Amino acid sequence: MTEPGHNPWLDPGENVAPQPEVARPRMVSTGPTQPHPGLQAQLSGLAVSAPSPTPTQPEPPSPGVWIVGVHGGAGESTVSELSPHFREAHHRWPQPPSYGSVLCLMVARTNAAGLHNSRAAAREWAAGAQPHVVLLGLVLIPDAPGRLPKELARQVTLTSGGVPRVWQLPWVDDWRLHAPGYTALDTTDLPRPVKKLLVDLDELTSLNISKENPSL
C-alpha cells in the first residue's frame, strides 16, 4: 500500500529539492520617489499650469487613488473607470485630507504638450508644493497609433526621470468609442500593459496603506 504523500516513481532514498517560488518582477523606479523640498518648482523654466491645487472633490473610496490628468484630453476619465478605487481629480491636485496623505497617479498623452505638462506637474510635486501627495507615477497614453517619433520618445525618457514610475499604455482603438459619463468602459478584455498597471497600483496601494498603518 502506498504511503500518503509517497511518490512510487522516485527512489526512496532520493531527496527532491523544493522548487523555489518564482518572484514577480519588481517595479523599477524611473525617478524620485519622494519630494525634495529644496528644489525650486520654477527652476527649469516650465510653467506649472496643471494641475491646480484648489480641490472640489470628495475623497475616493478607500483604498483609493486620485487620477490626475495634467492636461485636457489626457485620458483621466478613461483611466479612472478602470477600477472602482480610482477617482477623477479633474486636472487638479486633490485637497489635503484631515490626516495622512493621498495617493495620486498622473495621466498624460504622449504628444509634446502632454509631456511638457507632465514635467511641469512633476516638478511642482518634487519641489514639495503638494506635501500631502504620494505620487505613484505617470501613465502615458498614446496620442496616435503607431510608434512615437524619435523626438517624442526622447521626451518620454526625459519625463520618466522626474516621476517615480511610468506606465506606457498601448493604443486601444475601442477606447475611441468610449464616452465617459454616457457609456461604460469595457474592462473585460484589457491589453496586458493595462492589466499590469492595475496589478502594480494594487500592490503600491497596499504598500502605502501598510506604511501609514503599521499595525495592520
Give 40 or 182, the one with higher predicted confidence. Answer: 182
Q: Is 91:76 a contact under the CB 8 Å cutoff?
A: yes
pLDDT of residue 91: 92
Give 208 or 57, the one with higher predicted confidence. Answer: 208
User: pLDDT tens digits, residue range 96-115?
Assistant: 777 778 999 999 999 999 99
CA distances from 147 to 38, 114, 152 (A): 37, 16, 10
For the question of whether the overall pTM of this predicted structure is more than 0.85, the answer is: no
Of 34-38, 117-121, 160-164, 184-188, which gets the smallest average pLDDT?
Answer: 34-38
Angle at alpha carbon of residue 76, lines to 183 and 156, rounded to 5°? 135
Q: Is 101:134 a contact under the CB 8 Å cutoff?
A: yes
CA distances from 65 to 42, 68, 98, 144, 177 (A): 27, 9, 16, 26, 25
Q: How many CB atoms lie within 10 A of CB 80?
A: 25
**Cell numbers 522626474 correspond to what residue?**
162
User: pLDDT tens digits, residue range 132-187?
Assistant: 899 999 999 999 999 999 999 999 999 999 999 999 999 999 888 888 777 778 88
Report the SS3 class of residue 213.
coil
pLDDT of residue 51: 42
Cell of 12: 526512496
**Phi, psi (deg, nearest 5) at residue 104:** -130, 145
Arithmetic mean of pLDDT, 71-92: 93
Query: Is the per-residue pLDDT at 17 higher than 60?
Result: no
Query: Is the per-residue pLDDT at 200 higher than 90?
Result: yes
Cell of 78: 478613461
The CATH number given to 65-209 is 3.40.50
Of 81-85, 149-153, 168-172, 207-211, which gets the smallest average pLDDT?
Answer: 207-211
DSSP-derived pairing of the beta strands 65-69 and 86-88: parallel
